[in-house]
């Protein structure tokens, strides 16, 4: 098991579990304010996860909307997540009705999802948490906001600027050794 960063502030934890051909399977999660974010038992393909995180980091300068500066975490999550993704009911993904699907603004989905959303980077998040990162210059923080899907509880970690990028970059460097060994 390996950890980069500080669990008390922000960290990445992973553990390679198996290698089969070109696939390297690992457990993976984030930590923020001492709380584990994601399902550590749900394995991911480490090369795919690394590629997804590299693509996410490449969009970090876009992770900002002036109209959301200083807004509360619920409003940010509602605008950047719930307005473009059909939210789950009772902690389980539901079958979407044609009306719900038609209400989605697909151009916004394609524009915001790769910039703000972390839930889609790996299976370790998809079934357990809605998570996004928002740069808020009004508050002077990167705002990591997540909702636990089984309870609906919304949490937030205020991170110093570029901490997320720094820790994830350290993970990418360290996990490269796991991929090459």
Domain count for the chain: 1
**Which pLDDT value is given to residue 8?**
97
> In the chain, what percentage of residues exceed pLDDT 70?
81
**Which pLDDT value is given to residue 130?**
86
**Model confidence at 138: pLDDT above 70:** yes
Vertex 104, ends 102 and 107: CA angle to 5°? 120
**Which pLDDT value is given to residue 88?**
47
Buried-state track 123-151, b at ≥16 Cβ within 10 A, e below 16: bbbbbbbbbbbbbbeeeebbbbbbbbbee
Q: What are phi and psi of 140, to 5 degrees?
A: 80, 25
Domain interval for residue 63: 2-180
Tens digits of residue pLDDT in 20-32: 988 899 999 999 9
**Model confidence at 54: pLDDT above 90:** yes
Pick 175 or 111 by higher pLDDT.
Answer: 175
**Which pLDDT value is given to residue 7?**
98
pTM for this predicted structure: 0.84
Arithmetic mean of pLDDT over the chain: 84
**Which pLDDT value is given to residue 91?**
42
pLDDT band (50, 70, 90) for residue 167: very high
Tens digits of residue pLDDT in 30-53: 999 999 999 898 899 999 999 999
**Model confidence at 15: pLDDT above 90:** yes
> For the purposes of burial, counting CB atoms within 10 Å of the CB of 87, is it exposed (0-12), middle (13-18) or buried (19 or more)?
middle
């Amino acid at each position: 098991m390996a950890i980069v960063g500080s669990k008390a502030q922000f960290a990445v934890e992973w553990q390679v579990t198996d290698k089969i051909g070109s696939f390297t399977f690992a457990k993976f999660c984030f930590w923020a304010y001492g709380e584990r974010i994601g399902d550590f038992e749900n394995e991911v393909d480490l090369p795919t996860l690394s590629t997804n995180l590299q693509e996410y980091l490449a969009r970090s300068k876009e992770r900002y909307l002036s109209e959301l500066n200083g807004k509360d975490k619920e409003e940010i999550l509602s605008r950047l997540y719930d307005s473009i993704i059909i939210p789950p009911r009772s902690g389980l993904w539901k079958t979407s009705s044609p009306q719900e699907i038609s209400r989605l603004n697909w151009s916004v989905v394609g524009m915001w999802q790769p910039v703000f959303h972390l839930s889609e980077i790996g299976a370790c998040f998809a079934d357990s948490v809605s998570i996004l990162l928002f740069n808020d210059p009004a508050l002077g923080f990167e705002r990591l906001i997540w909702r636990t899907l089984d309870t609906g509880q919304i949490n937030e970690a205020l991170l110093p600027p570029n901490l997320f990028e720094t820790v994830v970059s350290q993970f990418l460097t360290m996990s490269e050794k796991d991929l090459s060994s």
